[in-house]
Amino acid sequence: MKKIIAIFSSIFWAGLIAGISFIEAPLKFQAPGITIPLGLGISQLVFQFLSKVEIVLLFFLFLPCMAHH
């Protein structure tokens, strides 16, 4: 079960990175009324939250490794 959680966490993390980096970030600046300073402020909030999610996912990735020791 721990291995399945680790695999899911890896795939979920890759999806987050792809979605934010390649889809959300460029499209945000094409939205009506979004200025560069506003878009950069939104990006800062998004990436701060992403960093917190990555820390949680890292725990789930290393959980199976720690179980064997």
- Listed by start position, the domains of the chain span 2-67
Measured distance CA(47)–CA(16) in Å, rounded: 11
Tell whether the model's pLDDT for residue 13 goes beyond 70: yes
Angle in degrees, 0-180, between the axes of helices 2-18 and 36-67, rounded to the nearest 10: 160
The residue assigned the tokens 């917190």 is: 52
pLDDT above 90: residue 67: no
Q: Helix, strand, or coil here: 31?
A: coil
pLDDT band at 26 (very low <50, low <70, confident <90, very high): confident
Instruction: State mean pLDDT over 32-57.
Output: 91
pLDDT beyond 70 at 69: no
